């Protein structure tokens, strides 16, 4: 029997994608007053196995919503560049996910990126963007903090030391 506590616990832990699908978890890191922001992307398979990750640093001070939408856009572009199919992209920004999935017209600068995400999702039904609670997005959260000196990105073929324990915990919970 599933209790209310079990349902809450399930809602706050990372879930592996269905077999035959991959999952990219996305997070953004913005520090008030900082002239940069970063995004972290973590790709895992249906068994929770780390495949690769990417951290991307951007020059410019932006609102959190713009950083989060940029993270989803970077994930979509990354999935396409790797030639992947059947991918679930998860972000802990409910506002960004809803705006992208509902193709909300947004006249702010970030609206252009939201619309680009929406266009790709309409043409690629095998890519799904959904919301995940912050507590279940720990690995992507930590990847956003992997140091990057300039406006650049790093592809990580092995998990950084800072994410080994959370990765292991995610796999044990599934």
Cα gap 65→111, rounded to integer Å: 10
CB 38 within 8 A of CB 28: yes
The residue-averaged pLDDT of 112-124 equals 86
Is the pLDDT score of 119 beyond 80? Answer: yes
- State percent of the chain over pLDDT 90: 44
Task: Write out pLDDT tens, residues 129-168.
Answer: 999 998 898 899 888 887 665 566 778 888 888 888 888 8
pLDDT of residue 108: 62
CB 21 within 8 A of CB 88: yes
CATH fit for domain 16-169, picks 3.20.20.10, 3.30.420.10, 1.25.40.340, 3.40.50.720: 3.30.420.10
Distances (CA, A) of 105 to 69, 99, 110, 124: 14, 8, 10, 20
Q: Structural domain boundaries of the chain?
A: 16-169
Task: Write out pLDDT tens, residues 54-89.
Answer: 999 998 888 899 999 999 999 999 999 999 999 999
- State percent of the chain over pLDDT 70: 84
Residue 151 burial (C-beta neighbours within 10 Å; 0-12, 13-18, 19+): exposed
Is the pLDDT score of 9 beyond 70? Answer: no
More confident residue, 106 or 87: 87
pTM above threshold 0.85? no
pLDDT of residue 20: 96
CB 110 within 8 A of CB 65: yes
pLDDT of residue 112: 79
Is the pLDDT score of 44 beyond 60? Answer: yes
């Amino acid at each position: 029997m599933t209790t209310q506590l079990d349902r809450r616990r399930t809602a706050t832990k990372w879930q592996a994608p269905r077999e035959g699908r991959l999952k990219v978890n996305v997070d953004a890191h913005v520090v008030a007053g900082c002239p940069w922001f970063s995004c972290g992307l973590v790709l895992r398979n249906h068994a929770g196995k780390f495949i690769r990750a990417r951290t991307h640093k951007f020059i410019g001070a932006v609102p959190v919503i713009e950083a989060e939408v940029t993270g989803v856009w970077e994930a979509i572009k990354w999935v396409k560049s790797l030639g992947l199919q059947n991918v679930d992209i998860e972000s802990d920004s409910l506002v960004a996910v809803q705006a992208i999935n509902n193709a909300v017209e947004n006249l702010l600068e970030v609206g252009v990126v939201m619309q680009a995400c929406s266009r790709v999702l309409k043409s690629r039904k095998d890519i799904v963007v959904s919301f995940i609670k912050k507590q279940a997005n720990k690995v992507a959260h930590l990847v956003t903090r992997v140091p990057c000196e300039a406006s650049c990105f790093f592809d990580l073929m092995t998990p950084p030391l800072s994410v080994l324990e959370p990765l292991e915990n995610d796999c044990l919970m599934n």
